[in-house]
Structure 1
């Protein structure tokens, strides 16, 4: 019987049959390049199917088939041996069932504890500290705050406006701008399909993040303004807030209101005493005073920004930086001759022409009178995962970490 007909008879794929042949579970005859699965193969496959229903592993099935072949027994003539195997498997399955039942109860307990209502807390909004920093991103005038609703030291609702007609609103403690543009591929750190991300690439990113947090913590952070932009891409600071200064002032931006709401709830639950501002924005033209920021954190967010906007984030953000401020970042790129770069231009027609080029980082820093004071090659991956639709299999996506400092 040909392999295709054999596979159909047992309702399995041809690849499965080939895999069983490779393991030695099936031993067909071979005519030139074609397998011929004989009566013995039919009997063995039926036996394999039965044993799989009993939850025997392929390794266990191979041992049983081997004994059958060595003793030349058929129809399980050695009934005592086979009966003992079944009894042992039954005992194993019962033990496994108990362990699964325990795990289900533990999961139920965890779900129950997660869904228990927390005690009602004071509404946390925009800390009053940030009000003097709210400036129009266009004409650079102090924004007027109207219709403000306050709870303690927080603004929970309000309207920020400028005479030039610029307006942003504060609603439920989140500053919301109209400058919102997202990637063609929907993305949220809370909605990642893990199967589309290669674990090796995630480990590479984590290595870069640990380098960044170590660099940030080497600086005094008390009373410093620290901004992490486009956190829907790859957030860094929220994971390490417990280790960072509780006297610093944190700003997180994101184009997704839903995601920034989730982040706000998480931080308020675990770090309720921090001074944090949440902004819905994607183009980096933030309603903040120029020369007010001490640190910008680029956790591969500038890489993602280059896919959506043609402007350089270094140019947009440079005016916000104080003297002696720093950008601490992690940047992904390809070699100039990579096919992946051509794929990017096809998929993201409005992207920067140097998106995911190393010179996007180097020129962006240099053109804005900054200097890369630290740099470290973190490594590369040839398989970032299927989420990265522009990636050409086998090409190297590289990761470099850097510190760009102002004079």
Structure 2
């Protein structure tokens, strides 16, 4: 499946499992048989039977506020919530207020879980409690009937066929656009985005020099010089941006070599970023738990110091990821799975420029070539010559034959059995009385 097909398929699945006006919520199915299964349960069954991934609720938080009740011309005990009528099941204890609060909490948790899936695990007890309360109420519209699994499957098959037609049409459009691909215009668009980022960086830096927040202790003369240089750079970049804007036209209409528009790429990259972020958060949380456990058990000062540093780094990375609120496709970079607000020229707070930006890509390429040249140079460099062998040295130096020396030592040993041999002047051996 192409990237566009994947995006469309996920969107359809999300829509199918949404909290809607015409189908029941998951909690209505509690205690029912096959024919009384609610839409959420159908989603679970279908995802297992058809190999589809369970998806999250897509109701926006703003829709929670719309879940209000009204008593206008309604039968006794019936309430209206978000355009649907509800009534308590016989013998239940949950009040209307508790039902509405549980429904609101159910939607809130599932909406949070859409962007932060770990919330569904952390708030599982709250979610189960809300489902139990909601299960005590049922729909109250006259003649209301739940869709059967067979009916839902038929509806989904129709949606699948429609999705396939839309995907085929989109692929056909992209195939037709490919012949209009202009590599020079595409590069100019990337250069325009890069230079707009550079311009923003320079203007921010100039403003910081002017208000004194950048290098507050700098001498006024040097500050004026720095500001003048920045103003010159800004003028030069602004002129370049104007030329690029004239060359590029509308950046959102510039296709890539595969016929994809920037907006289409952002949608696919948003999904990639979402799941990359989820994996990273779960992995960092596991790392932190392991590091803290190891730190608690460690007694070595150096090891504990290293662990504190690793814990601090992991906490910083985790905090950065958790601070990213739910994004729209428009907030993504069209060339990589990174939000645009994470692209910049100072790290931190930015992750760095986009690798696809032409100027930055050239700098990266130059660095790679430098490393490659250094490696090649080290391979061709001659090894230093081996040191010459050491000149042979005698084991001992003496002016007498060794047999004569041994005989003399034997005589001295008989005469002075307790004497000690010590080194004397001019490297001579001397016999001295033993120390008492």
User: What TM-score do the two structures reach when normalised by structure 1?
Assistant: 0.21
Give 1 or 2 for the bigger CA radius of gyration: 2
Which structure dedicates a bigger proportion of its chain to strand?
Answer: 1
Which structure dedicates a bigger proportion of its chain to helix?
Answer: 2
User: What TM-score do the two structures reach when normalised by structure 2?
Assistant: 0.20
